[in-house]
Structure 1
Amino acid sequence: MYLAMNRFTLTSENATAFEALWLSRDSRLHENPGFVAFHMLKGPEENGQILYASHTVWESEHAFRSWTRSDSFRAAHARAGGTRKLHEGTPKFEGFTAIQHIPAPA
């Protein structure tokens, strides 16, 4: 399993617009081989800033990397440049390979 995360820092006054942008996206992640799940996470507000993280789960790092080279990826990020004014700096990418997985009991 591979977890891909992008962290975004926003001022609290941009939070509503940022959330609306993500909630209205036409995600096609489910059409990509190896895609498992996506979450947009909202952290606590501290000193007028809020941390958000997009959290995507893939079957493997190879599946994730293949998606980043796909037409689906290019289409999903075509408007990304227009959101820069909403978050501070650039998103911070973090990728993780799972070394242990403990599922919930059935």
Structure 2
Amino acid sequence: MKAGQEEAFEAVWKGRDSRLDEMKGFLSFHLLKGPAEEDDGVTLYASHTIWESREDFLAWTKSEQFREAHKNAGTNKDLYAGLPRFEGFESVLGG
């Protein structure tokens, strides 16, 4: 996130209708905020969802709900320091 744009970025996320709760296997969502980098002030954010299965997550990415939730993603490009990057993880230990 560009330095100084954190509040605007968070407002976009708080105001959007993700429709995640309509999806089979969706368990939880968190928007995580890291510290601002000392050199350029860029703040890293992570969108974190938990699903019952990988298949449920993949179904979300191909759903009408996903398309609706992301239809305006390009209108806030000026908030971003770079392109979003997907990183997926599978739980190997935990509840």
Stretches of structure 2 lacking an aligned partner (at least 5 in a row): none
The AA in structure 2 aligned to 1:40 is: L
Percent identical residues: 51
Aligned to 1:81: 74
* Counterpart check, 1:43 vs 2:34: yes
Could you say which residue in structure 2 is the equivalent of 1:26? 17
**Deviation of 1:12 (Å):** 2.1
**TM-score after normalising by structure 2:** 0.92
Q: Is the helix fraction higher in 1 or 2?
A: 2
**Any idea what SS the aligned residue of 2:78 has?**
coil
Which residue of structure 1 aligns with residue 92 of structure 2? 99
TM-score by length of 1: 0.83
Task: Compare the two structures and name the one with the higher strand fraction.
Answer: 1
1:36-76 per-residue CA deviation (whole Å, 9 max, x = no partner) reads 00000111112211111000100111000001110000000
Q: State the distance in 1 between where 2:61 and 2:14 align.
A: 21
Consecutive unaligned residues of structure 1, counting only runs of 5 or more, are 1-9
- Cα shift at 1:97: 1.0
Instruction: Give per-residue Cα distances to partners, 1:64-94, cap 9 Å, x unaligned.
Output: 0001110000000000011221111211110
Which ranges of 4 or more aligned residues in structure 1 deviate by more than 6 Å? Answer: none
What is the aligned length?
93
